[in-house]
Every structure is written in C-alpha cells, then in structure tokens.
Chain A
C-alpha cells in the first residue's frame, strides 16, 4: 500500500524548464509547490565544472545526462502493420533525466514560431484552399495566437538572456535581423554572439544568392546578464561544449542558471529527486485529480495528495502518464476517435557538408552560434507551386568541434585505414555543415499508445510510437536541402556533399529531441487533450505542459515556444484558475 503524505497545493511531475517556470510563478503567488523528479539533482557546481564536463565520451557518446532506456524507453515501429520493438539504447532523440531536464543539455537554439504556424490549418485553407491539405494530414490550429503568446515569449527570452538581433519590432523591420519573424514588442535582451568564421562565410554566400541571413537567437549569453528574477549569468567563452553537456560557465540559459538560485530557496517550494511518478490519481467521479502515486528508489510507493497536478515531464512522458492514469480518451487511429496520443510529430532534418581550404577552427563555438535564413520556413513563401505544407530554416551552426561525433568527412572517404586517417587530417579543421530544420505535420497514422508486450521496471506497459515520414515531409526536406546546397555552392568549397533525409524514419541515429504532440492543445475536446490554457478538458485541476501540446511541429527548435507556453499556462492559473478553480474554457 502506498504511504499517504501530507497534501500540497500543487504537485509538478518532472523538474525541467516548464516545472521551474511554473514552480517559480506559482510560489510567487503564494502556493505550496512540490516538484517530483525521477532523476538526480544537478547544479553548475559541482556537476558541470569545466574541469569535468568537457568530456565528449562521457556525456555525448555514453549519454550520462539523459534518461536511461533501462528505466524508461518506448517501443517503435514505422507503421501499424509492424510489431513495435523497444528502443534499447538512445538514438534518434535524447530526453533528459534529472533536475533541469533537457534545459541542462540543450544547445540554446531559441526561436519563436511564426504567427501563421499557430493557424496551421485555417491559414493554409484560406490561402491555398481546403484541397491543398492531404486527407490523412490531421493538422489543426493551436487555439492560441502568436499575439497572445508574444508577452510570454518575451518573458522567456528575458528569463534566459537571449542574444540576438531583432528583425521586427512592433511591425518595423530591423536591419540584420530575421525579417520574417512575428512582431516583437522590444529587441533581444543581449546583442548577438561574436561571429565564428563559418557563420561569416555562410552570411556572405547567402547574401550572394539573394537571401537575408541573420544571427540565430541564442540562449548562450553574449555578455554578462542579470535576468528577470535577479539571477546573474556570465559571458559565453565559446568552448564548444553546449549540447549534451551542462554549462560550467553560467553562460547557457538553463533552469540552473536562471531559476534555481531563487526558487530552491523558497519556503513554499520543495523538490524531491529520484522519485518516479507512475500515476495521476482521480476521485470516484473521474473528473478531479486527487494527487499522484510515486515510487522511491527502494520501490516504496507514496501517495502525494495535491489540489492541482501539473504534468511537466518530457513530451512523450506526459502522454505516457495520461495513458497509464486513464485520463482522456486514448486515440484510436482506425476509428479516428479519441485524443490522448494523437498527432505525434517530430522534425525532419538534413545537411550539406562543405569542405574548404581555409581553417575554420570548428572547436571554437557555442551551441546557438549560427547564421540562418528564414525565406523557406512556415508560409514565408508561396507553397502553391511546390505542393507541400510546411518549411524550415537553413542555418550554419558552429556548435563545436568535438572530435568523435562532430567531424565531417567527404562521403567518398574511406571509413577506416590510412585513407580515413588522411581524410580526418585533411578535413577536421576545414569543414562546415549547413543544416536544414524542417517542420513535420501531423497524420492520422502517427501516434502514441501503450505497447501490448513490453513493460517497464514497474510492470507498466511501455509507450508505443508509430511514426514515419510522409511524402509531404520528404518533398519539403528535399526542397530545403536543394536551397541549402545553393548556399553551399556559393561558398566555393573544394568539395561539398548533400545529405538529404530519405527513406523511412529510423530510431537511430540521432536527429533531434524535438518530439511533439500526443496531448495537443486546441479548441475542440474531440481533437485536443487540453484547452488553450493547457488545462485538461476531462480533469480541470490537471494541466499538461510541454511540446506534447503542439498540434503539429513547426520548422524551428521547440524550446522557445515551450517556455512561452509554460508562462502562458502559469499566467492563466494565477489570474483565472486560482480565483475560480474549474474549467477555464467551457467544452
């Protein structure tokens, strides 16, 4: 039997970006908040000390900071006629475990989605007609607009201290920024980062081709910065160990460097680590959450009562917990009914590698030090002739030159032997890679449910992922890759290779940790799990926060939008729910 513990006002499941933000905002409002984290506590000192963290093998190759499939994984298949098998080790994506979540190990590539991204179905139908959207594509509007989210994007950017160049301030286009971005009320808190040679070469080439390149918005601080909670960050040193690593220099925005120093000292906040939440409990009506069950490392079960339960774990883990708890109707792709698990989406990426005579010193970099063009993202261009939905940015990132995983070799170079050695010696210091970062629409046959066979260490069914790339995404990605190759060519390389994304989606190798959907937001309870405030339609004292709320995925990294949604939900709880607990939107 579970030991029943004293109640809390709010329990947060998982302690990454969204939990840190919501925990900070709700403790400010006077609530007693408890966060339950399945992983360890981690902080800049001692866990990310530069004398320890700059270790590619330990962190990037052996995956020290991430979830362990042994404890938490999913099964995967490309299509419904296959048998899903477990993801036995990490590959295509790397969710985090531990305090700070993926906010510890991200690169810091921090974007806003486009205003039209939030109107994905209605905008496309209006501009191109209803028939433009394939029948099995289940895209929908978000139920929240860019203008509504703008103050919350702004708040997340001023929490982080984003370095960048605004492209549109209150409708006025700014030189050197992204002219396609939605209007922002003010510029970025910090100027852009220093420029690596690679980004300079890309900018020159992109301009020659006729594009408008701009510095990518970065959660790597270009200067010392004091954030909205009074927490101090330092200047980035371009050490090139961002993604897969914690930052030892207080210059990558993370829960540790922006929220923990305030939140963890509050009397009305408590964090319990190494606690795995296995179920959200409901009362006999099934309409009210009474708390959660969690398991400690010795296997003991505890019942934690709470007035408000907020799922703030990684995207698919939120969905898994909803399914295990029997909250919301599970999605059935055959009948096309139900919502939980529906509209899983991802990202489609490709690259063009560029080999030069000049030395570009790839090891000097930062996770979000890049130059991009946005001409082919979202609906920034006429899709009529190309006959696909979506798009993406094209960027040259100089995130670092870690030797095992970040070296580029010409495709025809030998894989081993003296030829491999020579290719490594010739190219390591003289190669760059242009990335395309494409949207993925949602489809009737791309979804999450419970696996019938495989179980986790608690005896619960694993989550099952059914997903493949569709012709729309292949067409779009090939289009982006061709545009990227055009820029690469203008860099006048001695050699270049395009690496288009072809064939089926595969669970290996690494692509991105931009998993979305499964508990999507919207205006209709028949096609969404949560309302526009991320509140469960079925259980009003349950909120589900994260990229699981995205109805489909846009052509940008998700964290900026995840941060904005966390502030948006926290604001709704503070200004509406706390005054009158109950549904914020009538179904």
Chain B
C-alpha cells in the first residue's frame, strides 16, 4: 500500500518562506546535503543571516591550536540546511494553540519554529547592537562577540522579540550537531569534529578490537558516504 502524505502537511510545507525547499521527504536527499557556499545559494538564510551565523559558530567552536573550528567545518551550511527542512519547520512538533508561557519543567512553549526563531533573533541581535551604538554582530571583534554571546546565554542581553536564552541554547545545540554529525549533512567537513575527539565514524564491527583495552583505535575515519565523507559521482 502506498502511503499518501496527509494533504495538510504539504500545505504546511508550502507556507514556508523559502519556496525552493518544498520537499515532502522527511529528510533531504543526499544530493542536497552537498556544501553550498556561493552567495545567494542558501537553502534558508539570507546572505546577511548566513554571515551572522558563520560569525557566531566561529566563536562557539573557534579555530585554534587544537585545529579548525565550526566555521571551517561548514557548520553554518549545516544549520542552513537543517532550518530549510522538517526540523526548521518544526514539522513533527505539536504546534497548536493556545500558546502560554509554562514552567521550565514543561519545556519549549514558543510559537516560533526553529527557522523562525533564528530569523527573529538574528534581526533582534543586530537591532540591539544598533540601539547600543555597536557595529552589527558579524563585524565586531572576537572579544566583543564573545561578550554578546555570553549575554545571550545568560539572558542579560534582552532582545525585542526572541527570548535570548532559548535562541542561544538552540544555536549552541545546532552548532555542536553540525560539528559532530555525519559530513553528508554539510558540517563536520573533512571529519574535523570527529578527528578532534577521536571518533572513527560509523565503522560497524569492533568484534576484534573491543577486548583490546587502553589501546587507541587507528583505522581511518569513515562517514556514511565513505572515507572522504563526500558523495562520490553517481553513475
């Protein structure tokens, strides 16, 4: 029996601003997971938003003496793809009203989807910068950016519309996801994150190694698309 997706789900998808992303599939085909870096080719972000997110993730996981950071690993591209898909649309979340503020034990109660939260918060942060006579976030130096990010994390920086703590937590969580998920989603480029911590990727069989105690595993890192983590030419 063929499963026909509920009509209202397709309608819901069509309401998302970025018209290029109407995909009934739960997850993007791998071809869409290829890194997109040319300006104007983002799945969800505007060029200004992409620059903003790239600046933020570069502070959350910086390029330092331990190696490349989130910017080099393609994390902004990862987030861009995630927000244009079912996650960004909160497609599987219960998003019916009435909407009320809950206790912290009751979890997420914002009417905003993740994609909407990013769009709202990024604009809010730059508006906050302007109001406080500062340059836009992406143009600030690293120390100033860190200070602002700490302010969002603690909630001390109050934004006009978006709750700063909720936004920061989502941004940080998505940044870690992008740094440590399979490279086919656009982040963790060249296995940057996995190599830094020592995770060899989905290697499947450790029968021969599991009882070799206190010994570093040295097989090359792999991803679901192979050793280079990129989709090879399909024939």
Which A residues contact B (CB, under 8 angstroms)? 40, 50-52, 54-58, 61-64, 68-70, 73, 76-78, 82-83, 85-89, 91, 194-197, 200, 235, 237-241, 249, 272-274, 297-299, 358-361, 363-365, 401, 403-404, 407, 415-418, 420-422, 424-425, 428-429, 453-455, 504-508
> How far, in angstroms, from A506 to B91 measured CA to CA in the complex?
23
Contact B214 A235 (CB under 8 A): no
**Chain A residue nearest to B178 in the complex (CB):** A57
Q: Is B196 close to A, CB under 8 A?
A: yes
Instruction: Please tell me if the beta carbons of B27 and A403 are within 8 angstroms of each other in the complex.
Output: no
Q: Are B204 and A54 in contact (CB under 8 A)?
A: yes
Q: Could you say which of B104, B109, B177, B216 contacts A404, with CB atoms under 8 Å apart?
A: B177
Known A-B contacts A51-B224, A70-B92, A505-B105; the reply to A403 vs B98 at CB < 8 A is no
A195 / chain B contacts, CB cutoff of 8 Å: 210-211
Q: Could you say which residues of chain B place their CB within 8 Å of the CB of A415?
A: 153, 172
- The answer to whether B98 and A57 have CB atoms under 8 Å apart is no
| Separation of A403 and B197 alpha carbons in the complex (Å) | 8
Also in contact, A453 and B214, with CB within 8 A (given A55-B202, A241-B202): no
Query: Could you tell me the distance in whole angstroms from the C-beta of B141 to the nearest C-beta in chain A?
Result: 15
19 additional contacts (CB under 8 A) given A239-B204, A506-B104: A40-B3, A55-B181, A57-B177, A61-B181, A62-B27, A76-B105, A86-B94, A238-B206, A238-B210, A241-B202, A299-B6, A364-B206, A415-B172, A416-B59, A416-B175, A417-B59, A418-B62, A454-B96, A505-B105
B2 to chain A, nearest CB (A): 10
Within the complex, what minimum Cβ distance (angstroms) separates A431 from chain B?
11
In the complex, the chain B residue whose C-beta lies closest to that of A453 is: B98
Tell me the bound Cα distance from A272 to B6 in angstroms.
Answer: 17
Cβ–Cβ contact B213 & A197, under 8 A = yes
- Are A507's CB and B87's CB within 8 A? no
B207 interface residue (CB < 8 Å to A): yes
Given A404-B176, A425-B196, also A239-B202 (CB < 8 A): yes
* Chain B neighbourhood of A274, CB < 8 A: 1, 3
Do A63 and B92 have beta carbons less than 8 Å apart?
Answer: yes
What's the count of A-B pairs with C-beta under 8 Å? Answer: 187
- A404 to B203 Cα, complex, angstroms: 16
Q: Can you show 10 pairs from A to B with CB atoms below 8 A apart?
A: A70-B93, A87-B94, A88-B109, A194-B207, A239-B204, A298-B4, A363-B217, A420-B61, A421-B196, A424-B197
Q: Are B59 and A88 touching (Cβ within 8 A)?
A: no
Q: Which of B6, B106, B207 contacts A235 (CB 8 A)?
A: B207
Known: A70-B95, A404-B177, A455-B96. A62 touches B87 (CB 8 A): yes
B92 touches A89 (CB 8 A): yes
Decide yes or no whether B157 CB sits under 8 A from chain A: no
Which residue on chain A has the smallest CB distance to residue B184?
A55
Judged by a CB distance under 8 angstroms, whether B66 is at the interface is yes
Residues of B within 8 A of A404 (CB): 176-177, 180-181
Find out whether the CB atom of A358 lies under 8 angstroms from the CB atom of B214. yes
Secondary structure type dominating chain B contacts: loop
From A54, A235, A360, give the contact of B202 (CB < 8 A): A54
- Smallest beta-carbon distance A100→chain B, Å: 17
Q: Would you call B199 and A363 a contact (CB within 8 A)?
A: yes
- Tally chain B residues at the interface, Cβ within 8 Å: 66
Of B108, B175, B193, which contacts A88 at CB under 8 A?
Answer: B108
Q: A421-B62, A428-B197 are in contact. Are A239 and B203 (CB under 8 A)?
A: yes
- The chain A residue with its CB closest to the CB of B101 is A85
Question: How far does the Cβ of B21 sit from chain A's closest Cβ, in whole Å?
Answer: 16
A247 to chain B, nearest CB (A): 11
Q: Residue on A with the closest CB to B110?
A: A88
CB atoms of A57 and B4 under 8 A apart: no
A91 to B61, CA, bound (A): 26
Cα distance A336–B193 when bound, in Å? 55
| Cα distance, A200 to B106, chains bound together (Å) | 39
Cβ-defined contact, B64 with A421, below 8 A: yes
Docked complex Cα distance between A505 and B172 (Å): 24
> Given the complex of chains A and B, what is the CA–CA distance between A87 and B106 in angstroms?
7
Q: Which of B26, B209, B213 gathers the greatest number of chain A CB atoms within 10 Å?
A: B213
Q: How far is the CA of A61 from the CA of B59 in the complex (A)?
A: 23
A86 and B209 CA atoms in complex are apart in Å by 46
Contact pick for A418, options B64, B90, B100, B194, CB 8 Å? B64
Nearest Cβ in chain A — how far from B159, in angstroms? 19
Judge if B215 is at the interface, Cβ distance under 8 Å: yes
Whether the Cβ atoms of B64 and A194 lie closer than 8 Å is: no
A85 pairs with B102, CB closer than 8 A? yes
A63 contacts which chain B residues (CB < 8 A)? 92
- A407-B98 Cα distance, complex, nearest whole Å: 37
Compute how far the CA of A91 lies from the CA of B93 in the bound complex, rounded to whole angstroms.
11
Q: Which residues of A contact B47 (CB under 8 A)?
A: none
Which A-chain residue is minimally distant from B78 (CB atoms)? Answer: A57
Shortest CB–CB separation between residue B33 and chain A, in angstroms?
11
Q: Is the CB of A85 within 8 A of B100?
A: yes
B204 contacts A88, C-beta separation under 8 Å: no
Q: A88-B107, A361-B217, A422-B66 are in contact. Are A73 and B94 (CB under 8 A)?
A: yes
Does chain A have a CB within 8 A of B41? no
Contact A361 B209 (CB under 8 A): yes
Asked if residues A401 and B102 are in contact (CB atoms below 8 Å), the reply is: no
B122-139 Cβ-contact flags toward A at 8 Å (1 or 0) = 000000000000000000
B199→A421 contact, CB < 8 A: no
> From residue B98, how far is it (CB to closest CB) to chain A in Å?
7
For B59, the chain A residues whose CB sits under 8 A away are: 416-417
Q: Are B106 and A76 in contact (CB under 8 A)?
A: yes
**Cβ-based interface call for B148 (8 A):** no
* Bound form: Cα–Cα A322–B209 in Å: 50
A200 engages B213 (CB within 8 Å):
yes
Chain B residues contacting A200 (CB-CB under 8 Å) are 213
Are A68 and B62 in contact, CB atoms less than 8 angstroms apart? no
B62 interface neighbour in A78, A82, A197, A417, Cβ under 8 Å: A417
- A421 neighbours in B (Cβ, 8 Å): 61-62, 64, 66, 69, 196
CB distance from B123 to the nearest CB of A (A): 22
Name the CB-closest residue of A to B57. Answer: A416
A403 and B194 within 8 A (CB) = yes
Report chain A residues within 8 Å CB of B207.
194, 235, 237-238
Across-interface contacts of B91 in A (CB, < 8 A): 70
Chain A residues whose C-beta falls within 8 Å of the C-beta of B45 in the assembled complex: none
* Residue in B closest to A70 when the chains form the complex, CB atoms: B92
